[in-house]
Amino acid sequence: MQPVAYDKMIEFEDSHFWFIARERICLDLIDGIMNESVKRILDYGCGTGKIAYLLQERYKDKEIYGADISDVAVDYCRKRGLSNVFHLREEKLPENTFGLIVCLDVLEHIQEDVEFLNQIKNLLSAGGRIFMAVPSYEFLWSGEDYVSNHARRYTRRQLKKKITQAGFKISKITYFNTFLFVPIVLVLLAKRLFLPKSMYESDVKEVPRFLNILLTKIFVSERWFLKRASFPYGASLLVIAQKEDK
């Protein structure tokens, strides 16, 4: 990602509705798959380290690790007080080690995504799981994709095919960020028509306080549904899958 993307994350990840809601949804679903057999958790592509930090606070009995390829990201993680952070340009991750790998908004950056998924699989211990989120639908391509150096966005069918090709058994795959999907599409269309230059700028901007609170409540409310069912569309996708033993 461009350095400005990390700066935006640091500026907004504790206050912006998108970061807050995604964080709560993902942590709730991770709670649902956590068990005693998981000893080590890796946040792959950990960015500023916010999720790794929350996992560390949430699961005191687990070893929490972060990994990122960016100097900027690793520096942010260490400033946050995370000690177990791998710099992927300098260190090799140990294979057959992690019971759970969390990979949020990472796969879309990778050109050879199936090869990457195979590498992730090799890092998992027997029966280990991945918890992954990615942006959905190419027609939602926006300035955030540009700033974040995304290679693609996914449909459910595309993501399912790639996860399966890499040797995982999927237990849950669903769209999310569904309740705000129509407003997202309308705002994106308006930008394309009237503010074309904004298609090369980050979408993460300050939102009026009242609106930010409202959007947070709407987005976060998806937690209840996602624990019980799957959504047929949404601005993002998430998947939970298990390494298949040979």
Could you write out the three-class secondary structure of the chain? CCHHHHHHHHHHCCCCHHHHHHHHHHHHHHHHHCCCCCCEEEEECCCCCHHHHHHHHHCCCCEEEEEECCHHHHHHHHHCCCCCEEECCCCCCCCCCEEEEEEECCHHHCCCHHHHHHHHHHHEEEEEEEEEEEEECHHHCCHHHHHCCCCCCECHHHHHHHHHHCCEEEEEEEEECCCCHHHHHHHHHHHHHHCHHHHHCCCCCCCCHHHHHHHHHHHHCHHHHHCCCCECCCCEEEEEEEECCC
Q: What's the token pair of residue 231?
A: 């959504």
The per-residue pLDDT for 6 is: 82
The per-residue pLDDT for 26 is: 98
Q: Convert the pLDDT of each residue in 205-226 to its tens digit.
A: 899 999 999 999 999 999 999 9
The per-residue pLDDT for 203 is: 85
The per-residue pLDDT for 198 is: 78
Mean pLDDT for the chain overall: 95
Q: Convert the pLDDT of each residue in 36-66 to its tens digit.
A: 999 999 999 999 999 999 999 999 999 999 9
- Give the whole-angstrom CA distance, residue 243 versus residue 226: 22
Contacts of 125 (CB under 8 A, 6+ apart): 40, 96, 97, 98, 99
Contacts of 158 (CB under 8 A, 6+ apart): none
Q: Convert the pLDDT of each residue in 90-123 to its tens digit.
A: 999 999 999 999 999 999 999 999 999 999 999 9
Q: Is the pLDDT of residue 238 over 80?
A: yes
Domain that holds residue 48: 3-243
Q: Is the pLDDT of residue 14 over 70?
A: yes
Domain count, the chain: 1
Nearest to 102 by CA among 21, 7, 23, 158: 23
Nearest to 159 by CA among 48, 63, 237: 237
pTM for the whole structure? 0.95
Q: Convert the pLDDT of each residue in 120-174 to its tens digit.
A: 999 999 999 999 999 999 999 998 898 889 999 999 999 999 999 999 999 999 9
Q: With pLDDT > 90 as the criterion, what percentage of the chain qualifies? A: 87
The per-residue pLDDT for 12 is: 94
pLDDT band, residue 246 (cuts 50/70/90) = low
The per-residue pLDDT for 19 is: 96
The per-residue pLDDT for 176 is: 99
Beta strands 63-68 and 85-87 are parallel
The per-residue pLDDT for 45 is: 96
CATH of the domain at 197: 3.40.50.150
Amino acid sitting at position 100 = L
The per-residue pLDDT for 3 is: 72
